[in-house]
Amino acid sequence: MKLLALDTSSEGCSAALLVDGRVTERFELAPRGHTRLLMPMVRELLAEQNLVPADLDTLAFACGPGSFTGLRIATGVVQGLAYGIEVPVVPVSSLAAVAADAIERFSLSENDGIAVAFDARMGETYWACYACRAGQPELIGEEQVCAPESVALASGIPRWFGVGQGWRLREHFPAMVTDAMQEIDDSLVPRASWVAEIAALAFRDGAGVPAALAQPVYIRDEVAWKKLPGR
């Protein structure tokens, strides 16, 4: 399998190439550099493997939630590539990508829980709970956007680990949530390497959509606009 994965859903910008089970990645923290960095990363990865886009079997991208602008950048690039080479696209949750990173980082055991939090701005948090199942993150319940004071953990999980930059808001989380954490890493952002790992498994199971259906997932549909004085 030859799979190219992209992520621009946060301040990180990354591209990863999975070829026959081996992943190579380009990653840079660049909050305003996604447009400048992404395509050079793609070209470098393909050149290293002596590949061209037409050699790819599928594409993947972190579809959100995350930065609205960032999500649109990766969506546009992956759609353009997919249209050109006529391959399916596997959308991957940005929250799930961070949960997968946590499983390896903390060497999690079966049924350990991962509580992923992103800062959604405007006083809200993107939140999802996952369980480690056969070494992969399995979503428990639904991804949601809510006030930090409203985040909650799923039941039946023996140990919890908190990850994602939204945990920098943990002073606003309920005490029963923060007290349940074994460890917290508030530095993790989505990375294309984990998008590629998740997408490869999904693609083998038949996942993949046409380019036109590769769309960002915002979770929050409304944007709160401040009214200008006198308007």
For 91-134, what is each residue's pLDDT tens digit?
999 999 999 999 999 999 999 999 999 999 999 999 999 999 99
What is residue 221's predicted lDDT score, i.e. its pLDDT?
58
What is residue 231's predicted lDDT score, i.e. its pLDDT?
36
Domain coordinates in residue numbering, the chain: 2-93+190-213, 95-185
Q: What is the DSSP letter of 225?
A: P
Phi-psi region of 20 (alpha: psi -120 to 50; beta: other; left: phi over 0): left
Phi–psi pair at 169, nearest 5 degrees? -95, 15
Q: Under 8 Å CB-to-CB from 219, ≥6 apart: which residues? A: 64, 65, 120, 126, 143, 144, 145
Q: Would 2-93+190-213 and 95-185 be classified into the same CATH topology? A: yes
What is residue 224's predicted lDDT score, i.e. its pLDDT?
42
Please give the C-alpha separations between residue 53 and each of 57, 58, 68, 182, 204, in angstroms, as whole numbers. Answer: 9, 10, 26, 43, 20
For 49-64, what is each residue's pLDDT tens digit?
999 999 999 999 999 9
For the chain, give the percent of residues with pLDDT over 90.
94
Q: Between β-strands 2-7 and 124-133, what pairing exists: parallel, antiparallel or unpaired? A: unpaired
Task: Name the pTM for this structure.
Answer: 0.94
What is residue 220's predicted lDDT score, i.e. its pLDDT?
73
What is residue 15's predicted lDDT score, i.e. its pLDDT?
98
User: In the predicted model, what is the mean pLDDT of residues 153-182?
Assistant: 97
Domain 95-185, CATH number (from 3.40.50.300, 3.30.1380.20, 3.30.420.40, 3.40.50.1820): 3.30.420.40
Q: Is 188 helix (H, G, I), strand (E, B) or coil?
A: coil
Q: 2-93+190-213: what fold?
A: Nucleotidyltransferase; domain 5 (3.30.420)
